[in-house]
C-alpha cells in the first residue's frame, strides 16, 4: 500500500489543475491523460505480453466513431463512452483470435493494417459516418471553461482506471502468465498457461480504455474525420511513450506519456518548421541510451543493493 499512496496523491494533485484557471494547461493535461491511457493500454499487450501491437489507432478510431454516432443518435454522452469501450473490447477480442497466433514482425504488420482498413471503411461508409466529410457531434450547452474541466477530469479518471487495471494485471496471475509468454511462449504452454486465452485477454485490455479515450476525444473536439482518429501516429506514439518510461512496468508508461507530451510541446513551440524531425531524433537518442526506459535506470542502480523479493531462507543459506 505504501507504493500506491504516493500515486494516489499525485493523481489528486493533478486533478486540482483547474484551480490554476489556465485553459492551455488544462488542454495539455487532457492530452497527457489521453496519452497515458494509450501508453498504459499498449503496455498490457506490448509490455507485459511482448506483442508489438500497432492496433491502438484502430481501437481509438473505432471508439471515436462509436461514441460520435451514438451521441449523434441522441444517446446520453457517458453511455456513448461506455459503449465505445465495449465496442473496442469486442473488436479486439475477435481481432485477437484472428491475428495473435502471429509472432514478432508479422503480428506488428497485421495489427498495423487494421487501422488502415477501418480508415477505408469509415471513409466509404458515408451514410453512417459522413465519410470524408467527417462527423459533427452535438454541442454541449455549458461554458467553455466548464467543458475544459469536464473533459480533463473525465480523461484523468479514465487514465486512473487504466493505471489501476495495469496494477491489477501486474500483480495477478494474468500478469505473471503474460511475462512468461513474453520470455518463452512455447515453454509457457508446457507449464500450463493457456497462452491463446491470456493473449486475447491482454489484447482486449489493451483496447477497452483506448476505445473510451477515442469517444471522449470525439466529444471533446466536437468534430472527427477518418484520417484524424485513425492516424498511424496514434499507434506509434503509445509505443514510444511506453518504451521511454519503461515497458512492462506499471508506472513507466505514465512517466513516458508525460515526458513525451512535454517534449512534443517544447519542440513544437521552439522548432515549428522541423519539429517532427527534431522530436524523432530526440526519441531515438533517448531509447538508444535508455533501453529499459526511465524506470530501467532506477532498477539497475537499486538491484545490487537489495534483492527484488526477500527470501530469508535461501539467502541465509549462502
Residue from the set 176, 275, 282, 294 that interacts with another protein by CB under 8 A: 176
| # chain residues binding another protein, by CB under 8 A | 27
- Under the criterion CB under 8 A, does residue 104 sit at the interface with another protein? no
Interface positions, 3-42, toward another protein (CB under 8 A): none
Residue from the set 192, 269, 304, 312 that interacts with another protein by CB under 8 A: 192
- Under the criterion CB under 8 A, does residue 180 sit at the interface with another protein? yes
Please say whether the beta carbons of 163 and 7 come within 8 A. yes
- Under the criterion CB under 8 A, does residue 314 sit at the interface with another protein? yes
Angle, helices 23-42/195-221, rounded to nearest 10 degrees? 160
Least Å distance, CB 172 to another protein, is 10
Burial, 4: exposed, middle or buried (Cβ in 10 Å; 0-12, 13-18, 19+)?
A: exposed
Give whichever of 79 and 303 is closer to another protein, judged by the CB atom: 303
Please say whether the beta carbons of 212 and 84 come within 8 A. yes
- Under the criterion CB under 8 A, does residue 313 sit at the interface with another protein? yes
What angle (nearest 5°) sits at the alpha carbon of residue 294, between those of residues 257 and 179? Answer: 85
Task: From 10-18, 38-46, 158-166, 169-177, give the range in contact with another protein by CB under 8 A.
Answer: 169-177
- Under the criterion CB under 8 A, does residue 127 sit at the interface with another protein? no
- Under the criterion CB under 8 A, does residue 126 sit at the interface with another protein? no
Please say whether the beta carbons of 59 and 212 come within 8 A. no
Residue from the set 12, 120, 183, 221 that interacts with another protein by CB under 8 A: 183
Q: Which of 15, 121, 108 is nearest to 54 (CA)?
A: 108
- Under the criterion CB under 8 A, does residue 143 sit at the interface with another protein? no
- Under the criterion CB under 8 A, does residue 189 sit at the interface with another protein? yes
Interface positions, 193-232, toward another protein (CB under 8 A): 193-196
- Under the criterion CB under 8 A, does residue 184 sit at the interface with another protein? yes
Least Å distance, CB 298 to another protein, is 17
Residue 195: C-alpha distances to residues 41, 49, 200 (Å): 19, 10, 9
Least Å distance, CB 176 to another protein, is 6
- Under the criterion CB under 8 A, does residue 103 sit at the interface with another protein? no
Please say whether the beta carbons of 60 and 122 come within 8 A. no
Angle, helices 232-245/275-289, rounded to nearest 10 degrees? 40
3-state DSSP of 62-104:
HHHHHHHHHHHCCCCHHHHHHHHHHHHHHHHHHHHHHHCCCCH
Least Å distance, CB 191 to another protein, is 4
Least Å distance, CB 188 to another protein, is 8
Task: From 85-93, 192-200, 237-245, 268-276, give the range in contact with another protein by CB under 8 A.
Answer: 192-200
CA 197, 198, 203, 206 torsion-angle sign: positive
Residue numbers at the binding site for another protein (CB under 8 A): 173, 176-177, 179-180, 183-184, 186-196, 307-309, 311, 313-315, 317-318
Amino acid at each position: 500500500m505504501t507504493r500506491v499512496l504516493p500515486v494516489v496523491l499525485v493523481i489528486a494533485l493533478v486533478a486540482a489543475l483547474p484551480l490554476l484557471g489556465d485553459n492551455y494547461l488544462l488542454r495539455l493535461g487532457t492530452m497527457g491523460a489521453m496519452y497515458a491511457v494509450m501508453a498504459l493500454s499498449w503496455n498490457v499487450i506490448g509490455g507485459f505480453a511482448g506483442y508489438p501491437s500497432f492496433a491502438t489507432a484502430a481501437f481509438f478510431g473505432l471508439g471515436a466513431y462509436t461514441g460520435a454516432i451514438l451521441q449523434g443518435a441522441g444517446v446520453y454522452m457517458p453511455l456513448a463512452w461506455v459503449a465505445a469501450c465495449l465496442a473496442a473490447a469486442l473488436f479486439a477480442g475477435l481481432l485477437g483470435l484472428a491475428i495473435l497466433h502471429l509472432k514478432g514482425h508479422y503480428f506488428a504488420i497485421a495489427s498495423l493494417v487494421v487501422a488502415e482498413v477501418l480508415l477505408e471503411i469509415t471513409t466509404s461508409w458515408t451514410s453512417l459516418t459522413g465519410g470524408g466529410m467527417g462527423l459533427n457531434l452535438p454541442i454541449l450547452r455549458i461554458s467553455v471553461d466548464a467543458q475544459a474541466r469536464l473533459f480533463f477530469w473525465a480523461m484523468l479518471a479514465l487514465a486512473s482506471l487504466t493505471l489501476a487495471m495495469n496494477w491489477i494485471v501486474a500483480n495477478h496471475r494474468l500478469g505473471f502468465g503474460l511475462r512468461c509468454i513474453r520470455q518463452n511462449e512455447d515453454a509457457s504452454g508446457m507449464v500450463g498457461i493457456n497462452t491463446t486465452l491470456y493473449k486475447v485477454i491482454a489484447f482486449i485490455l489493451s483496447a477497452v480504455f483506448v476505445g473510451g479515450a477515442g469517444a471522449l476525444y470525439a466529444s471533446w473536439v466536437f468534430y472527427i474525420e477518418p484520417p484524424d482518429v485513425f492516424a498511424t501516429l496514434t499507434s506509434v506514439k503509445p509505443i514510444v511513450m511506453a518504451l521511454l518510461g519503461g515497458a512492462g512496468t506499471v508506472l513507466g508508461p505514465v512517466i513516458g506519456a508525460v515526458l513525451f507530451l512535454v517534449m512534443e510541446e517544447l519542440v513544437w513551440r521552439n522548432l515549428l518548421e522541423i519539429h517532427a524531425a527534431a522530436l524523432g531524433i530526440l526519441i531515438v537518442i533517448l531509447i538508444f541510451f535508455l533501453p529499459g526506459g526511465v524506470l530501467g535506470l532506477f532498477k539497475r542502480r537499486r538491484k545490487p543493493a537489495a534483492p527484488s523479493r526477500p527470501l530469508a531462507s535461501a539467502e541465509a543459506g549462502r
